Amino acid sequence: MDSGFATICEDFASMQTRQQVLFDIFLFAAALAVALWSRDTGHNVVWGMWLSSLVLGYAYIVWSIGRWVFALKGGAFVGGVFSGVFLLGFFTFHFGMFHFGHAIFLNDFFPIPVSGERTGLFLSFDHYWWVISHYWWFLLIALLSERSAFMEPRAPLPKEPGNTAKALRKVNLMKPYAKVVRLHILIFVFAFADTVGLTQALILVIIHAAYFLPWRNLQALLRKPSHPKKGSPSAAGP
pLDDT at res. 166: 58
Would you say residue 232 has pLDDT above 80?
no
pLDDT at res. 236: 45
Would you say residue 227 has pLDDT above 80?
no
C-alpha dist (Å) from residue 100 to 22, 39, 59: 34, 27, 16
Burial of 183 (0-12, 13-18, 19+ CB in 10 A): middle
- Which of 6-10, 159-163, 219-223 shows the lowest mean pLDDT across its residues? 6-10
Residue-range definition of the domain harbouring residue 9: 2-236
Is this structure's pTM higher than 0.95? no
Q: Return the DSSP state at 123.
A: -
Q: What is the mean pLDDT of residues 6-11?
A: 45
Would you say residue 159 has pLDDT above 70?
no
**Which range scores top for mean pLDDT: 63-72, 88-97, 141-150, 182-191?**
88-97
Of the pLDDT bands very low, low, confident and very high (cuts 50, 70, 90), residue 11 is very low
Q: Count the alpha carbons within 13 Å of 133 in the hemisphere toward its beta carbon.
A: 9
pLDDT at res. 216: 74
Would you say residue 141 has pLDDT above 60?
yes
Contact indicator for 176, 86 with CB cutoff of 8 Å:
no
**Which range scores top for mean pLDDT: 9-23, 104-118, 154-168, 213-227?**
104-118
- As for how many domains the chain has, the answer is 1
pLDDT digits (tens, 9 = 90+) for 37-84: 887 776 788 898 899 999 999 999 999 888 888 877 777 788 888 888
